[in-house]
Structures are given as C-alpha cells and as structure tokens.
Structure 1
Amino acid sequence: MVAAPTRTSRAKYPIFRSLTTRWNDNDVYGHMNNVVHYSLFDTAVNGWLIEEGLMDPKTSDTIGLVVETGCRYFGEMGFPDTVHAGIRVGHTGSSSVRFEIGLFRNDEQTVTAEGFFVHVYVDRYTRRPSPIDGARRVAFEALMV
C-alpha cells in the first residue's frame, strides 16, 4: 500500500508571492478550476524572475521553456481567496531548473496544492539549450531545498 502524500508547510519555501484569485477562476463546482493552478505557478515564478532581473520576456537572450509539469491537490481554493505561492528550487542542471511551488490558501499553514515545472533554458532564436550561469544560477541555488 502506498502512503498518502503529506502536505508541506510554509517553512519549506524560502520565498513567497501573494496572488489574488479572480471571479472567473471558479468553475461550475464552485471552486478554482484546476487549470488556474498552473497559471498561478507560472505567474509566481515568472514574476519572481522578472523582479530579480533574471528575465525580461521581451529582450532576454535566453528563455525558459516548460518541458514538464505536475500538480497534487489537497484542498479547494476559489474566489475571493488570496493565494500565497511559495517558491523553491528542487534541482538545477546545466540548462534546466525544477521549480517547486506550494499554493497556500489565505492564512493556512499547509499547502492546498503543490506542483512543479521544469524550465529548460534555450537561446531565444535558435531554441537550442543554453547553460544556466552567472546571476541566474546563483539565484536558483539560493532557493534550493
């Protein structure tokens, strides 16, 4: 028998970004539709990358392309909740990074949903893998768990 996954606490994430839910995030069942979780993951991580000066969506020579994603759901969220997205890095390779994101509903101390995505950094024009180095690598390693 496989043990049920445990819910991660806020203490397992080094940084957070607060995100607001929207009226249209709720589905016919009265909670946030599962596709919205992935949008929140993207918003949290890309917002952090931009704020840290690690990516400019219009001009960066290298960009991160998502090559794998996953999400585990532990509870429900919906409008008008505030979501606190915890961000950490699970692995950094030569050209890839695994971001792990915990979504915390309002003031709850354990995750409501927990997911990940893997970015492969590529040259913007050739789409060939590009090494993660410099400030980007330092920032990713600072978020390692």
Structure 2
Amino acid sequence: MAEPQPTDRAPVRREAFPHHRSITTRWMDNDIYGHVNNVVYYSFFDTAVNAALIEAGGLDIHAGPVIGLVVESQCRYVRPLAFPEPVTAGLRVGRLGNSSVRYEIGLFAGQEDAAAAFGHFVHVYVDRQTRRPVPLPADMRAFLEGLVVSGA
C-alpha cells in the first residue's frame, strides 16, 4: 500500500521513513505567533537531506564536482511545531532518476507518530562548473537506493 502523499488526508507516519535525524529547535525559529515559522521547515528539510548525504560520503559541499540544485519544493503543514520542542526529520526517496532525486521529508514533534509536516524537494545534480545535469555519482546513488520506499 502506498504511503499517503501531501494531498491525502491520512497522516504520514514515522515508520514510512527509513532514515531519521534529530533536529533541535531554537528560540529564534519561533515567529510572532509562537510557533516555528514556515520558512524554517524548509531549512529542516535541507538539513535532513544534506547532512545524510555528507555523512554517507556522497556529497562534498566544498570541493565535489557535483552539486544539487533545488528545482521544486512543497510542504504541507499539519500542526505547528514550537521551541523548545524536539523535532525528528524522517527522510525517504520518492523517485530516483539519472540526475535527479525527489526527497520526501516528514517532520515529527517529540515522540509523535504522525508528521506535523510533510514535504518534498527535488534536486537535479549538476556539474559544479558548467551547471549542466550529470548522472548521480555511484556512491551517492548507492546510499540513495537504500532510502527508496516502494510506493512512496
């Protein structure tokens, strides 16, 4: 059975993501309304994806010949997050192409099972110098294949 997508009403569950990362909220993340501002959710998405790639050895942000450019992003907000609440970002790959990846991220408050937010972004991997699409490096592809969720 396919996992719920952003347009579905069913909650997105923690177990739908093979990779997890703890993220600490900060006082400055809260906005005037007392919850984490919407733009910070995208920062959490970036942190989850790029930290996983760096730790897996698939991304050298300073000198690697390949970089990822975001060409699409989306977030569905289900319930607010707020400082000092701990957040866990769940990460999976919804689509793995030749030079592109659709990352799907769930943000979970504390120990909650249902996502407070669910979103995605698409990276197109390009040559650092020419900015032309290139195939994913083998080590990055190997790591990402482990995050592909069937039916996601």
CA distance in 1, matches of 2:126, 2:133: 4
Cα deviation 1:65-123 (Å, max 9, x = unaligned): 00000000110101001110000000011100000000000110110000100000000
TM-score (norm 1): 0.96
Cα deviation 1:2-44 (Å, max 9, x = unaligned): x852211111000100000000100111101000000000011
CA distance in 2, matches of 1:4, 1:50: 32
Work out which of the residue numbers 51, 65, 75 in structure 2 matches 1:61: 65
Work out which of the residue numbers 84, 90, 97 in structure 2 matches 1:93: 97
Letter matched to residue 49 of structure 1: L
Q: Show structure 1 runs of 4+ deviating over 2 A.
A: none
- Whether the 8 Å contact between 2:58 and 2:137 is mirrored in structure 1 is no
- C-alpha RMSD over aligned residues: 1.0
Q: Are the structure 2 counterparts of residues 121 and 29 from structure 1 closer, same or farther at C-alpha, using a change threshold of 3 Å?
A: same
CA distance in 2, matches of 1:39, 1:87: 14
Kindly report which structure 2 residues correspond to 1:1-145, keeping only aligned pairs within 5 A, or say none: 5-145=9-149
Q: Which moved further from structure 2: 4-13 or 52-61?
A: 4-13
TM-score (norm 2): 0.91
Structure 2 unpaired stretches of 5+: 1-6
Give the deviation of 1:139 after TM superposition.
Answer: 1.1
